[in-house]
Chains A and B, each alone.
Chain A
């Protein structure tokens, strides 16, 4: 076939001086700049552009834009490939490579076409009925492989995507006549306007319906309107931008395909637009008719045929029959004839179409009124349309019928479906308008309105006046004072419709409702017979409207057919829910720049650079990036961690504790407030002293632990675990603001204001003595669990005698900016004492052998204070506290709860794996009595140590147990968790 064999001699908004080479399904073709992939394929005579999902039937183009159900392509190759685009929306570029999805090797010659033979075996609900035994899971992998549409790239996307937030007074979605009129009215009124349209050019249907506006060609009016809008500094015009989601309070999500000719290295941009007023001028989508064999390539929406002919100068056929139930088809007949396409006949299902048919007959068209479709001749392309006179809604055999109309194109026009997706997503209500045979917008959310065809006003004249009025009204509601002037005007036109939902037929020929998912009228009828009569059930059972196109051409027909089958009027049936996105959105656009290092914001400590210089291996702990351990040349991970632990037990270690949460609690009721927040009593804490405490949820479950320091009578400093600072602080605020506003307390989160370095080990005091400070470090003056404020090396410091290692320990808190210098000073001065930085791994092992529990590791979402051996406080504490009531429940007092204990493997060289279960019955290896929560090899003790939660564990100290993990059994004994220095003598050194 020669290039451009189906290209019209003249016309079209393509650039014939810029031919573009492209490849489809492995064959090379040529198109022109301004073409879409679909129009270029049609110009080259490619009729079969895709295969259906289930039966792999050959399919041709039905639509010309987002409504297209058949021409689904994989665009590009390698890492930039995009699956599942509609060829009708792909702008042609030089060297473009595309292939149709769901077929092999090509749409033209698909080896899976044999599946059509099995069509009778695949009725509605086929999956539910067939793949039941032994279970769906058994079949799922194979079916998923066979059913895939398109492929995702396997390598990272090299393209860049952007995100932008935008605010405006009036957002107009849709750049057709109504949208342009609305944008003009709002712009002239002087408010901030954003106009978006998903096509590369503005004008909508005016691009192919050759009409007059204000007595001149409509496209001249479009060009002038665009100039005026783009010139206005307060108006932004976005083309190639799909408004795909409409959310609460007029937040509209847009996805912009950055123009191919743009020099920005950005592929797509995601917009979040917050508008004071939204005008949805999203137009309407033409409906096909449902009749036997209505999926043969060459059957096309009348509007699409007009678009191909007028916009792209492509002849979709040489001789066409128009099949219709509306007045619109007569316009289409005239327009197509003007482009040189022979009109075989206009077949109108209405017995008396009135004046519009009489006019057409006078103009020389053959009009068959009261006729309906019987079938189509041709398998891979339309050869003829067979029609018959309708009797009682069905095509009947009479003397003149069936009539066979020879043609290679059938233009169908079953009425218009307003594009109310965005309106409905924002919870706008819809109403069935019988006269227009359409669901039209009814009551909408505040500040959101539909205009033009989206509101059911299909004639151009009404689109313009309605759009202009909507723009004017929206601008006024947004505070505009200026006048918008006069609305543009057009000629009146006829838009009558009498819905013809489907042609009933007795034979086995298939009448398709949803072309992409292969749903037929018979499938709907079967579903109804099986009593799936709700539209939501029908949709899921038959999958109608669930394909990539989300039923843009099929939902309304399915609804009409359901109404016929069930004898329930459409308003009572209702409609399925519209959900975002209106059109598919790439994951790249949704991810934007939140990839790689920017995916999850991590906090860094003030010592980040110092750690890196020391060879730290960083890991993410909660929201913080922290050194897990410090690597040394020629040594493995375990060896390095062992060396760190040796320094902490034998000499002195420094640990970056800056992520520890720090919350100041001040005011005369501070002690009372903390008494309520902590399980432990805090009112009795003396000034200058520290107490370990746990906090509970209202359910009594331990949510955090840490120390609480009393700096003054009315001033406390609460220390939380690293990841919990914000959570605990917000909890404090909530209790104070909502429950106890009368308490005289102020809380301040100072986590980032202070750096924290823990100096721990038997030589810790020796190291600190080398620094200048006004604080007396003598154990008599500064005992374990005391806090002192003063100055260290000339800067403010809070020193706390607490730690997590079980050794003599000082936590030095200095303003965050001084932390790095202090760290460097400690390492330099401590060289002779054998000082060593330790990471989180070493600390975890040190605290495990000490038997200090770690909330979240050694406790779970059920652990209560009594479970960790702190039950006695409950009886002693008279004041109320958060969680108290829950601790009174019978469940909380059961003797067989999981309790915190140590687990000693009988073989000291055996490391009990974390997560391993304590067997309830070692003989049968069934049932669990708890599990291992922490485990490590202890250098200091020369054996493995473990902690765990075991049923009634504390009563069972000394009892032998079997521990099971991944098929391996280990014998162990339940012991006290305090492995190392059980009397705590080292702490008090």
Chain B
């Protein structure tokens, strides 16, 4: 079997200046869920994972699963990598009778987590959304531009943490941008 790699392989991790912490979120899978009917999706997810659908620009989480709202009729399921294939099949089966699609995007996006009290400020040097804790509490999500590329930002609930989902083709760009943003 072929070896699986990510553009974040060579990413240096750990503490940066000002108590910032940057880490690649590894061993996670991403399933894009599309459905013309929210109730059908709601039912499939509740039966399969017990997860309720999030409201617009929100995230619902249960254990190791997080469900991100992306657009009307579109969600992203963030789940343990090893569960991706089986959940994809299971959800696909439950949604078979409706107009719906489950797509594995695990390799399409990279997931970065920036921690530390200054994390919002660093990200806001290239993003116009207010990411400070009072405006972006746990469970909040924004689809926006970060460093001039499309990004999904969300608050996973841990204090002072922000997750960034970026197209994998922009991984190098995002890492150089973060390096320049945190240079002191």
Task: Knowing A274-B128, A666-B101, A815-B104 are in contact, say whether A594-B172 is a contact too (CB < 8 A).
Answer: no
The distance in angstroms between the C-alpha atoms of A795 and B5, with both chains bound, is 13
Q: CB distance A815 to B107 under 8 Å? A: yes
Q: CB distance B2 to A795 under 8 Å? A: yes
The distance in angstroms between the C-alpha atoms of A745 and B124, with both chains bound, is 37
Q: CB distance B2 to A793 under 8 Å? A: yes
Whether B3 sits at the interface, judged by CB under 8 Å, is: yes
For B170, list chain A residues within 8 Å (CB). 601, 603-604
For A605, list chain B residues within 8 Å (CB). 169
Q: B144 to chain A: closest CB distance in Å?
A: 10
The distance in angstroms between the C-alpha atoms of A594 and B176, with both chains bound, is 11
Can you list, as one digit per residue, whether each of B2-15 has a CB less than 8 Å from chain A (1) or not (0)? 11111100000000
Task: Knowing A603-B170, A605-B169 are in contact, say whether A598-B34 is a contact too (CB < 8 A).
Answer: no
Of A166, A750, A821, the residue contacting B3 (CB under 8 A) is A821
For A598, list chain B residues within 8 Å (CB). 147, 173, 176-177, 180
**Interface residue count for B (Cβ, 8 Å)?**
46
Can you list, as one digit per residue, whether each of B29-47 has a CB less than 8 Å from chain A (1) or not (0)? 0001010100000000000
Task: Knowing A593-B181, A746-B34 are in contact, say whether A817-B107 is a contact too (CB < 8 A).
Answer: yes
The distance in angstroms between the C-alpha atoms of A821 and B6, with both chains bound, is 11
For B172, list chain A residues within 8 Å (CB). 604, 608
Whether B167 sits at the interface, judged by CB under 8 Å, is: yes
Whether A163 sits at the interface, judged by CB under 8 Å, is: yes
For A491, list chain B residues within 8 Å (CB). none
Whether B135 sits at the interface, judged by CB under 8 Å, is: yes
Of A160, A162, A274, A601, the residue contacting B149 (CB under 8 A) is A601
Can you list, as one digit per residue, whether each of A584-616 has a CB less than 8 Å from chain B (1) or not (0)? 000000000110011001111110100000000
Q: B95 to chain A: closest CB distance in Å?
A: 11
Whether B20 sits at the interface, judged by CB under 8 Å, is: no
Whether B89 sits at the interface, judged by CB under 8 Å, is: no
The distance in angstroms between the C-alpha atoms of A751 and B105, with both chains bound, is 10
Q: CB distance B7 to A604 under 8 Å? A: yes
Q: CB distance B103 to A748 under 8 Å? A: yes
Residue of A nearest to B6 (CB): A817
Q: B56 to chain A: closest CB distance in Å?
A: 16
List CB contacts (< 8 Å) of A762-812 with chain B.
793-795
Whether A3 sits at the interface, judged by CB under 8 Å, is: no
Whether A155 sits at the interface, judged by CB under 8 Å, is: no
Whether A667 sits at the interface, judged by CB under 8 Å, is: yes
Whether B108 sits at the interface, judged by CB under 8 Å, is: yes
For B128, list chain A residues within 8 Å (CB). 165, 272, 274
For A753, list chain B residues within 8 Å (CB). 103-108
Task: Knowing A793-B1, A825-B2 are in contact, say whether A606-B108 is a contact too (CB < 8 A).
Answer: no
Can you list, as one digit per residue, whether each of B121-159 has a CB less than 8 Å from chain A (1) or not (0)? 100111111101001000000000001110000000000
Task: Knowing A598-B177, A746-B99 are in contact, say whether A794-B107 is a contact too (CB < 8 A).
Answer: no
Q: CB distance A750 to B103 under 8 Å? A: yes
List CB contacts (< 8 Å) of B72-123 with chain A.
99-101, 103-109, 121
Our count of residue pairs bridging A and B at CB distance below 8 angstroms stands at: 122
Whether B168 sits at the interface, judged by CB under 8 Å, is: yes
Q: CB distance B36 to A752 under 8 Å? A: no
The distance in angstroms between the C-alpha atoms of A608 and B173, with both chains bound, is 13
Q: A444 to chain B: closest CB distance in Å?
A: 23
For B67, list chain A residues within 8 Å (CB). none
Whether A624 sits at the interface, judged by CB under 8 Å, is: yes
Residue of B nearest to A749 (CB): B108
Whether B171 sits at the interface, judged by CB under 8 Å, is: yes
The distance in angstroms between the C-alpha atoms of A30 and B142, with both chains bound, is 54
Whether A814 sits at the interface, judged by CB under 8 Å, is: yes
The distance in angstroms between the C-alpha atoms of A793 and B103, with both chains bound, is 22
Whether A852 sits at the interface, judged by CB under 8 Å, is: no
Residue of A nearest to B3 (CB): A821
Whether A167 sits at the interface, judged by CB under 8 Å, is: yes
Q: CB distance A624 to B125 under 8 Å? A: no
For B99, list chain A residues within 8 Å (CB). 667-668, 744-746
Q: CB distance B2 to A746 under 8 Å? A: no
Q: CB distance B148 to A594 under 8 Å? A: yes
Q: CB distance A820 to B5 under 8 Å? A: yes
Q: B91 to chain A: closest CB distance in Å?
A: 14
The distance in angstroms between the C-alpha atoms of A755 and B171, with both chains bound, is 15
The distance in angstroms between the C-alpha atoms of A667 and B96, with both chains bound, is 11
Residue of B nearest to A659 (CB): B169
Q: CB distance B168 to A601 under 8 Å? A: no
For B108, list chain A residues within 8 Å (CB). 750-753, 816
Residue of B nearest to A160 (CB): B183
Whether A145 sits at the interface, judged by CB under 8 Å, is: no
The distance in angstroms between the C-alpha atoms of A264 and B127, with both chains bound, is 22
Q: CB distance B171 to A604 under 8 Å? A: yes
Task: Knowing A601-B173, A746-B34 are in contact, say whether A164-B107 is a contact too (CB < 8 A).
Answer: no
Q: CB distance B169 to A752 under 8 Å? A: yes
Q: CB distance A821 to B106 under 8 Å? A: no
Residue of A nearest to B135 (CB): A167
The distance in angstroms between the C-alpha atoms of A667 and B130, with both chains bound, is 38
The distance in angstroms between the C-alpha atoms of A488 and B183, with both chains bound, is 44
For A167, list chain B residues within 8 Å (CB). 130, 132, 135
For A815, list chain B residues within 8 Å (CB). 4, 104, 106-107
List CB contacts (< 8 Å) of A143-157 with chain B.
none
Whether A937 sits at the interface, judged by CB under 8 Å, is: no
Whether A818 sits at the interface, judged by CB under 8 Å, is: yes
List CB contacts (< 8 Å) of A128-162 with chain B.
160, 162
The distance in angstroms between the C-alpha atoms of A825 and B103, with both chains bound, is 27
Of B104, B106, B109, B125, the residue contacting A164 (CB under 8 A) is B125
The distance in angstroms between the C-alpha atoms of A597 and B100, with both chains bound, is 40
For B101, list chain A residues within 8 Å (CB). 664, 666, 746, 748
For A664, list chain B residues within 8 Å (CB). 101, 103
Residue of B nearest to A748 (CB): B103
Q: CB distance A165 to B5 under 8 Å? A: no
Q: CB distance B147 to A601 under 8 Å? A: yes
Whether A822 sits at the interface, judged by CB under 8 Å, is: yes
The distance in angstroms between the C-alpha atoms of A360 and B129, with both chains bound, is 57
The distance in angstroms between the C-alpha atoms of A697 and B97, with both chains bound, is 34
The distance in angstroms between the C-alpha atoms of A305 and B63, with both chains bound, is 70
Q: CB distance B2 to A822 under 8 Å? A: yes
The distance in angstroms between the C-alpha atoms of A956 and B86, with both chains bound, is 61
Residue of A nearest to B32 (CB): A748
For B183, list chain A residues within 8 Å (CB). 160
Can you list, as one digit per residue, whether each of A263-276 has a CB less than 8 Å from chain B (1) or not (0)? 01100000010100
The distance in angstroms between the C-alpha atoms of A814 and B106, with both chains bound, is 12
The distance in angstroms between the C-alpha atoms of A795 and B106, with both chains bound, is 14
For A825, list chain B residues within 8 Å (CB). 2
The distance in angstroms between the C-alpha atoms of A164 and B132, with both chains bound, is 13
Q: CB distance A752 to B168 under 8 Å? A: yes
The distance in angstroms between the C-alpha atoms of A84 and B145, with both chains bound, is 34
For A820, list chain B residues within 8 Å (CB). 5
For B181, list chain A residues within 8 Å (CB). 593
The distance in angstroms between the C-alpha atoms of A593 and B147, with both chains bound, is 10
Task: Knowing A603-B170, A608-B172, A817-B6 are in contact, say whether A166-B34 is a contact too (CB < 8 A).
Answer: no
Q: CB distance B4 to A601 under 8 Å? A: no
For B176, list chain A residues within 8 Å (CB). 597-598
For B3, list chain A residues within 8 Å (CB). 818, 821
List 22 A–B pairs whose Cβ atoms lie within 8 Å, in order of A's numbering: A164-B121, A165-B125, A165-B129, A166-B124, A167-B130, A274-B128, A594-B148, A597-B176, A598-B147, A598-B177, A601-B147, A604-B170, A604-B171, A606-B107, A624-B169, A668-B99, A748-B32, A795-B1, A817-B4, A817-B106, A817-B107, A822-B2
- 5 further contact pairs, Cβ within 8 A, besides A816-B168, A817-B106: A163-B125, A604-B171, A664-B101, A746-B101, A752-B168
Interface residues of A (CB under 8 A from B): 160, 162-167, 264-265, 272, 274, 593-594, 597-598, 601-606, 608, 624, 664, 666-668, 744-746, 748, 750-755, 793-795, 814-818, 820-822, 825
* Interface pairs A-B: 4 shortest CB-CB: A794-B1, A603-B169, A816-B107, A753-B108
Interface residues of B (CB under 8 A from A): 1-7, 32, 34, 36, 99-101, 103-109, 121, 124-130, 132, 135, 147-149, 167-173, 176-177, 180-181, 183-184
